Structure 1
C-alpha cells in the first residue's frame, strides 16, 4: 500500500518581473522589425536576413510562452536564450558587408538582445545579470573588431550592465520579501493554532488532570502517586501552553542530520551523508518533528521492531526515510483511525510535510514493515552538500 500527499507548487515571487519582461520583449521585437525593414535592402544577403529575422520572432514567441507559463524559468532555457541571441548578433557579419557592420549596430538590435540579460538577471540575480551583459557586449566587440571605451558615444555597455544590475536586484528583493512574508505567515498561523489548542487543553485535559491530582491527594494511599503524576503533567501542559513558539532567526540554517542523530538508540539506526545537511531552521525543526512522530509510532505499535533512519541530500530537496521491520499496518487501519478522530499520522507527519511544500509517502503492508519517505524542498539561501 502506498499513499502520498504533495502540496501545490508555491507561487514564484518573481512572476510580475517575468510578465513585465515579456512586455519589454514585445516592444523590442516591434523595434527590431522597424529597424530590419529600414536596413534590409542595405544588407549583402537580404533574403537570409529575413529568414534569420523569422528565427528571431519565433524564438521570441517561444521564450514569452515559456517564461509566462513557468516551464522556461530555469538555467538551461536562459542559457539557450543567451546563446541564440549572441549567435544572431554574430550572424550580422554573414548577412552584411564589413563596412555596414562598422557603421551600424548588429541587425538584431542591441535592444532586443537585452532580453537575454533581463532573463538571466531575473533567474539568478544581479551578478549573473551583469555577467551576461558583459558576455553580450564581448560578442558585440568581437563583431565590431574593437572595444569602444567612449561611453559618451557608445553607452551600450553601461545600459547592459545597468539593466542586469537593476533587474537582478529587483528579483533578489522580491524573493527575500516573499521568504519573509512566508516566515511571518507561518509564525502567525502557529500562534493562532497554539492559542486555539491552549483553550481546548485548558478546558479539557488540564482541568481533568487538576481534578485527578486534587482528588488523589484527598484519597491518599496508593492513589497519592497517581495524583503526583497527574500534577506533574498538569504543570508541564501549562508551561507548554504558556510558552510561545520561538521564531527562528531570519536566514538561520540548521544541520538536520545533527538533529536526527540525537534520535539514534539501540533500536534506532541513523545513517547520514558525510557532509552537513543544511536546511532553513524552521523547515529542519518541522522535518525533525515529523521523523520523531514516525519513530514514536514504531515504538508504540511495532513491538520490538528496529527502526532505520536514512537522510539523503539531493540538492534541491532533502529526503528522510524512516523504515522499520515490524508487522506493518493493516489495510484500512489509517482510514479507521482518521474516522475515529485519531489524526496523529495525518496531522503530525503528512500535515507537517505538506505544510512545508513537500511530500510524505507511506509504504506498508501487513507483515512487511512500514516505511515513510519524507521529502522537503530547499529554500533559497539554504546550502547543502550538493550546492557547494
Structure 2
C-alpha cells in the first residue's frame, strides 16, 4: 500500500473536522460580526464545497492541479471576506478568519500532491492574504504564518522522501524478481541442457572417432552456456552434476537428465490437493539408493513437493558424478510439525576443501541453484556437510504450510470413498 494513501485519508477527515470547527466557532461569535448573514452564506458555500469534493482528496489522481487552485481560491475568498463582514476592531485585534483552520487543509493538499515546494508556495499565498486582511504584519499572524509554513513544508518533504523510497523499493523488487527468474531458468538449464551436453561430451570421448568430435563440440557449448548463465547473475556455490533422478537399468544412481518430479515434465502431476513427498522421493529408490520415510503421508503443496524431489534428484546426480557409479546413497525423510527434513547421504570420498568455491567460479549450478536455489525460493534451507574420506550429506529443510496434514487426510479419505 502506498504511504500516501493514509495521508490523503487523513486530509479528507481534516477538511470535514475543520469545517465543523469553523461553523461551530462562527455560531459562537456571529453576533459580533457587522454583517453576520454574509458569514453564514460563505460558510454554507464552504460546507457545500467541502462535502461535494470529499472524493477529490481521496487520492493523488483525483486531486488535480485545477482542484488545488480552486481549493486555494475558496480559502482566499473566506480570508478576504472576513475584513468586509467583521468589525474593524475585531479584525485588527487578530480574531479568526471565516474559514479558520480549514485554510490549512488547502495548503496540506498542495504539500501531499506536490511536495515541499508546492507547500511553500501555497503557504506564502495564504500568509500574504492574512496580512492583507489585517492590514498589517502583527505578531499573531506572523506566528500563524510561520507555523503553517513549517508544518506544510515538513509534510511535503516527508512525502517526497516516501515517494523516493517507494520508487527505490519498487526497483529493488523488480531486480529481485528478475534475479529469481534468471535463477529458475538457470536451474532448468542445468537440469536439462547442461547435463545432456556433459553426457554427450563424456560418451563421445569414450566412443572415439567422429563421436569424439561431437563430444568436443558439446563440451565447448556446455562451457559457453555455463559462462552465459554465470554472467546472467546466478550467484552461489555449485558443483557439477550430470545424470537424472531415476535409477538406471543396472540399478545404479541417476544417469539421465533431471526432470523434476511433479513438474511440467511429470505426467502424474495434478494441481488438486497436496502431494505425498514419500511417493515422489520413493522413485529414487534402487539397489544403490535406500529411502527411509515415515509410515504416514508427508503432505506438501504440489510445487513444494516437486521442487524438494528435484533437489533430491540433483543431490543424487552429484553422488553419481563425484562419488562414482559404485557409490551408495541413503535418503531419510523426517516429518516435523512445522517443517519437512530430507537428508541425502553418500559413502563417497567427500568434497575436497575449496572445490565448491572453484565450482562457483566455473559457473556450475548443481548445488547453487538446483539444490540451494530451489530451497531458498521455497523459504527453506539446504546445508551441505562433507568430510573428506567420509562422504557428503545434503540436508534439505522446507517449512510446512499450516493445515497441510489435515488437507492430505481429507484428500485420502475422498480417494478411498470414491
TM-score (norm. length: structure 2): 0.50
Structure 1 position 14 matched with structure 2 position 4: yes
In 2, are the aligned partners of 1:130 and 1:160 still within 8 Å (CA)?
no
Please point out which of 183, 193, 198 is paired with 1:205: 193
Structure 1 position 180 matched with structure 2 position 152: no
Partner of 1:44: 34
* C-alpha displacement of 1:154: 4.4
Please point out which of 86, 97, 102 is paired with 1:96: 86
CA deviation string 1:263-300 (max 9, x = no partner): xxxxxxxxxxxxxxxxxxxxxxxxxxxxxxxxxxxxxx
Q: Quick one: distance in 1 between partners of 2:44 and 2:221?
A: 75
In 2, are the aligned partners of 1:117 and 1:163 still within 8 Å (CA)?
no
Structure ranking higher on relative contact order (CA contacts 8 Å, 6+ apart): 1
Change (3 A) 1:140 1:198: same
Change (3 A) 1:226 1:81: farther
Tell me which structure has the larger Cα radius of gyration. 2
Structure 1 position 167 matched with structure 2 position 155: yes
* C-alpha displacement of 1:235: 2.0
* C-alpha displacement of 1:214: 4.2
Change (3 A) 1:214 1:121: same
Three-state SS of the structure 2 residue aligned to 1:146 is: coil
CA deviation string 1:18-49 (max 9, x = no partner): 11222222321221111111222222332221
Structure 1 position 239 matched with structure 2 position 227: yes
TM-score (norm. length: structure 1): 0.54
* C-alpha displacement of 1:117: 1.1
In 2, are the aligned partners of 1:121 and 1:128 still within 8 Å (CA)?
yes
CA deviation string 1:317-349 (max 9, x = no partner): xxxxxxxxxxxxxxxxxxxxxxxxxxxxxxxxx
Q: Quick one: distance in 1 between partners of 2:224 and 2:151?
A: 58
Please point out which of 127, 143, 162 is paired with 1:137: 127
* C-alpha displacement of 1:50: 1.1
Q: Quick one: distance in 1 between partners of 2:167 and 2:36?
A: 51
* C-alpha displacement of 1:217: 5.6
Structure 1 position 155 matched with structure 2 position 163: no
1:1-388 to 2 correspondence within 5 Å? 12-68=2-58, 71-148=61-138, 150=139, 154-215=142-203, 227-243=215-231, 245=233
Pairwise CA RMSD: 2.7
In 2, are the aligned partners of 1:92 and 1:107 still within 8 Å (CA)?
yes
* C-alpha displacement of 1:224: 6.5
CA deviation string 1:341-384 (max 9, x = no partner): xxxxxxxxxxxxxxxxxxxxxxxxxxxxxxxxxxxxxxxxxxxx
* C-alpha displacement of 1:244: 5.6
Q: Quick one: distance in 1 between partners of 2:160 and 2:221?
A: 48
Three-state SS of the structure 1 residue aligned to 2:97 is: coil
Q: Quick one: distance in 2 between partners of 1:38 and 1:169?
A: 37
Change (3 A) 1:229 1:89: farther
Q: Quick one: distance in 1 between partners of 2:216 and 2:27?
A: 92
* C-alpha displacement of 1:93: 2.8
CA deviation string 1:126-150 (max 9, x = no partner): 12212211111111111112223x3
In 1, are the aligned partners of 2:11 and 2:105 still within 8 Å (CA)?
yes
Change (3 A) 1:79 1:213: farther
Three-state SS of the structure 1 residue aligned to 2:225 is: helix
